[in-house]
Structure 1
Amino acid sequence: MAEGPAKKRRYGSIVLSLACIGVACAVGWSLFGKRLESQASAGRGAVTGSIGMEVARPVGASGFPIPRFVSLKAEKVNVRRGPSSDHPVAWVFQRKGLPVEIVAEFENWRRVRDSDGEEGWILQNMLAGRRTAEIAPWKKGQNVTLLQSPRNGAGMVAKVGSGVVAEVENCDGDWCELSAGGYSGFVEQTQLWGVYPGEKVN
């Protein structure tokens, strides 16, 4: 099988360090290996909630809307250049739970887009409907504050590094409640990749 360039991407494994004062903790993250470019969806993961602006989305052959967000089911997932095993592997995702956006469907294959904007094809059984989100991946090397309640000025739970993958508990269209590194708190929805602006997730 043909192989492409061996290029490592971020966010594969997480190394966590904490510095706490009272209930406020700074969460330091070292992330690597989001994906490995080498050789070169969702399944029918349920999409909960709705987009706040009620933008009409077409429905794919699976019966679910396109586009939609899902997450990776396995630690290593091959992404191919086309919708069949005959196509070469373009890269390998190396981060279970990473959010990806399904932008097209073909039989049991899903064309997905990651937070870098790159696209490829994944078998649907490698994808799950569980909702996750990346914390502001565009803010390289910066932190985002995890808050105690969904309002500006609320107490700080932790500082979470850009690119950290968090579990989405719920979103009301403006704020999302997340779990990351053993901490739970709220982040403005505009600071996340993995949920649409205004989308409500239950």
Structure 2
Amino acid sequence: MRIPAFMLVAILGVFPLSPAAAQQQPPYWASIDEPEARMRTGPSTEYPTMWIYKREKLPIKILARYKAWRKVEDHEGTQGWMHARLLSASRTGLVLATNGKPVAMRALPDPDAKIVWRAEPGVVGSLTLCEKGWCLFDVTGRRGYISMSDIWGDEPLK
């Protein structure tokens, strides 16, 4: 059975894309999913390698898509291309070097809450529940709330 084009448009208008599918339109957050990932100058293995990342779970901002390639940006602002198989949809964050001191991870999303852990600059962890300036940050099972100003990988993208 064939569906006329005008009916298909009407059906799609009633059933919009799922949040997960909509999130996959750049820009969006991802993370490196391999122990070694090459950033290239263009979307093909024919392009030279700019950087080799040896840090699994490092947060990456996806800026554009071209076939199986993603234009990405790292926490230092470096942009290049990575193959999609090197990336995961898992949200992670990188603790920023704020005065070179460890950053407090708190029991509650409040600056006066008890400090349960401290994370060194450069530590990577999983992010969940990001709202009102705080994210729940998990570093190999050690969980606590961390201020959004102390991590990279959490800001809303448009």
TM bucket normalised to smaller: 0.7 to 0.9
Distance 2:110 2:51 in 1: 39
How many equivalent residue pairs?
139
Deviation at 1:140, TM superposition (A): 5.7
Does residue 123 of structure 1 match 2:83?
A: yes
Distance 2:36 2:99 in 1: 24
- In the alignment, which residue of structure 2 is the partner of 1:168? 127
After TM superposition, the score normalised by the length of structure 2 is 0.80
Deviation at 1:47, TM superposition (A): 7.5
SS in 2 for 1:145: strand
Does residue 73 of structure 1 match 2:33?
A: yes
- State the Cα deviation string for residues 115-141 of structure 1 (Å, max 9, x = none): 0110111001111000000012x4262
- Unpaired stretches in structure 2, ≥5 consecutive residues: 1-17
After TM superposition, the score normalised by the length of structure 1 is 0.64
Q: Identity rate of aligned residues, in percent?
A: 28
- State the Cα deviation string for residues 152-194 of structure 1 (Å, max 9, x = none): 1100111111121011132124210011143110011222100
Runs of 4+ in structure 1 deviating by more than 2 angstroms, as ranges, are 138-141
- State the Cα deviation string for residues 3-48 of structure 1 (Å, max 9, x = none): xxxxxxxxxxxxxxxxxxxxxxxxxxxxxxxxxxxxxxxxxxx986
Which amino acid in the other structure matches residue 104 of structure 1? A
- In the alignment, which residue of structure 1 is the partner of 2:153? 194
Which amino acid in the other structure matches residue 144 of structure 1? V
Instruction: Please tell me whether the aligned partners of residues 146 and 157 of structure 1 are also in contact (alpha carbons under 8 angstroms).
Output: yes
Structure index of larger Rg: 2
Whose strand proportion is higher, 1 or 2?
Answer: 1
Q: How does 1:146-161 map onto structure 2 within 5 Å?
A: 146-161=105-120
The CA RMSD over aligned residues, in Å, is 2.1
Greater RCO, CA 8 A, separation 6+: 1
